[in-house]
Structure 1
Amino acid sequence: MKPTHVTLRQIGNSQGIVIPKPLLAQVGLIDESAVEISVENGTLVLRKPRRAVREGWAEAARAIAERGEDALVMGEFGNEGDDTEIVW
């Protein structure tokens, strides 16, 4: 495939590019709202996410709770000066 030239543009404090629709179509990213981006061997790589963000988190949390392993790790603690009972 022939390289396509795009221009880096200022976007807030970052820089970005507009990716032409035909390129997105070639890799199947037209209807995607999220992509993975990484640097591999000095090259920026965009790809479809391997799985959805937070996929499986609810099931994992449920399994942890069922095993009774969902107790607070740090326990309860107060702030300095909280040695008297707070009245609301």
Structure 2
Amino acid sequence: MTMQAAIRRMGNSAGILLPKPVLAHLQVQAGDMLDLDLENGRVVLSALKPHPRAGWAEAAKELAEAGDDGAAWPYFANTDDATLEW
């Protein structure tokens, strides 16, 4: 996929607008983060993969605020953990 894009002034910096087909190919949208590398005189953009646990803290807080953070399987309690032998 070969395309052209003009460099545009953006405040004290400069940038390019990524065409819609490029965004679709990278499976990203406005606001997502990209990894930027320089390789042999080329700029290489890659979609950043989110951390596997991204958003967990916020989700846990929402569950706690809703009062829905009890044990999902209360019969698998940790009361006997101290006596476990491996």
TM-score relative to the length of structure 1: 0.50
Q: 1:10 to 1:35 in 2, by over 3 A?
A: same
Write the letter of the residue equivalent to 2:40: N
Equivalent runs, 1:45-56 vs 2, <5 Å:
45-52=44-51
Contact 1:6 1:18 in 2 (8 A): yes
Q: SS state of the match for residue 48, structure 2?
A: coil
SS of the residue 1:15 aligns to: strand
Q: Structure 1 CA distance, aligned partners of 2:22 and 2:50?
A: 22
Residue-by-residue CA offset, 1:10-33 (whole Å, 9 max, x unaligned): 011111000011111012223661
Structure 1 equivalent of residue 78 of structure 2: none
Kindly report which structure 2 residues correspond to 1:8-87, keeping only aligned pairs within 5 A, or say none.
8-30=7-29, 33-52=32-51
Q: Which amino acid aligns with 2:26?
A: V
Is there any run of 5+ residues in structure 1 with no aligned partner, and where? 56-88
Distance 1:7 1:40 in 2: 20
Percent identical across equivalent pairs? 33
After the TM superposition, which parts of structure 1 deviate over 2 Å for at least 4 consecutive aligned residues?
none
- The match for 1:84 is none
2:4 matched to which residue of 1?
5
The root-mean-square deviation of aligned C-alpha atoms, in Å, is 2.3
The alignment's TM-score, normalised by the length of structure 2, stands at: 0.51
Task: Provide the rounded CA distance (Å) in 2 between the counterparts of 1:50 and 1:39.
Answer: 19
Aligned positions, number: 53
